Amino acid sequence: MSEKKLAIIATKGSLDWAYPPFILASTAAALGYEVQVFFTFYGLQLLRKKLDLKLTSLGNPGMPMPMPMPVLLQALPGMQSMMSMMMKNKMKSKGVASIDELRSLCIEADVKMIACQMTVDLFEFSNNEFIDGIEFGGAATFLGFAGETDICLFV
Amino acid sequence: MASFDQELDASGLNCPLPILRAKKSLSAMASGQVLHIIATDPGAVKDFEAFAKQTGNQLMESREEGGKFHFMMKKA
């Protein structure tokens, strides 16, 4: 069986949007795919040593809420942290893996992770804020691999 | 139930953990050995079919019993 390839561009840095790239990357690796994920803009948050991902209901009318709540209330200080904590607890109770866990599984499975050098510079991150074992590159680096893939996704 | 060499209880775990744990268990097994996987995630039924198809491992059995899903996977 020839090895299939998957490339993903991860551009979001929130708790909810961290799931699609890591779930697909880890599962594809388990299925024998060669996988590369290119992290750019807010997606760089997913590569930080200490993950502190949050989610927001603001501008997201699709998020199921435990109780109806006016948008202005959702914007109050502390609400974002509280909702993020509630979501993390709910995920744990449902047996959903944490992002830390999925990321570790990706690393274990040799998923290649590339941080976009341009946005690292733009946001003035230093390379030692990121986990070990990642590479730094640009659009051409990504396209070199993406051009040979069976599946290529933008998240 | 057919005999198996190793058992993996993935009860309570949600997608994609049952697949990832199964892959890990299978990696440590020899070709021809059988892994018995127990899961509660209903999505696992289709997922293990796809896993078998893609990896070449043989899904010998897939059934539901008492609210749990049981799979027999033979390592290629």
CA torsion angle for A131, A135, A141, A142 (degrees, to 10)?
-30
Which residues in B lie closer than 8 A to residue A97 (C-beta atoms)? 13-14, 16-17
Q: What per-residue confidence (pLDDT) applies to B1?
A: 63
Report the number of distinct structural domains present in chain B.
1
In order of A2, A41, A95, B10, B71, the CA distances from B44 in angstroms are 25, 33, 13, 10, 9
Q: DSSP for A66-119, please give it.
A: SS---HHHHTSTTHHHHHHHHHHHHHHHTTPPPHHHHHHHHHHTT-EEEEEHHH
Of A59, A4, A12, A2, whose CA–CA distance to A34 is shortest? A4
Contact state of A95 with B41 under an 8 Å Cβ cutoff = yes
Helix (H) or strand (E) holding A25: helix A19-30
| CATH code for position A135 | 3.40.1260.10
Report the number of distinct structural domains present in chain A.
1
Q: Would A86 be classed as within a structural domain?
A: no
pLDDT in tens, A86-139: 999 999 999 999 999 999 999 999 999 999 999 999 999 999 999 999 999 999
Q: Would A88 be classed as within a structural domain?
A: no
Q: What per-residue confidence (pLDDT) applies to A66?
A: 86
Parent domain of B25:
6-74
Query: Confidence band (pLDDT; 50, 70, 90) for B2?
Result: confident
For residues A24-42, one letter each, b for 16 or more C-beta atoms within 10 angstroms of the residue's C-beta and e for the rest, the string is bbbbbbbbbbbbbbbbbbe
Of A154, A109, A118, A74, whose CA–CA distance to B16 is shortest? A109
Q: How many CA atoms lie within 13 A of A152 on its CB side?
A: 10
Q: Is the pLDDT of residue A152 over 80?
A: yes
Contact state of B23 with A30 under an 8 Å Cβ cutoff = yes
Q: Would B1 be classed as within a structural domain?
A: no
Q: Would A148 be classed as within a structural domain?
A: yes
Q: Which DSSP letter does residue A21 get? A: H
Contact state of A26 with B55 under an 8 Å Cβ cutoff = no
ipTM score over 0.90, yes or no? no
Q: Would A32 be classed as within a structural domain?
A: yes
| CATH code for position B21 | 3.30.110.40
Say how far apart CA A149 and CA A24 lie, in whole Å: 14
Of A31, A35, A48, whose CA–CA distance to A7 is shortest? A35
Catalytic residue among B5, B12, B15, B28: B15
Q: Would A78 be classed as within a structural domain?
A: no
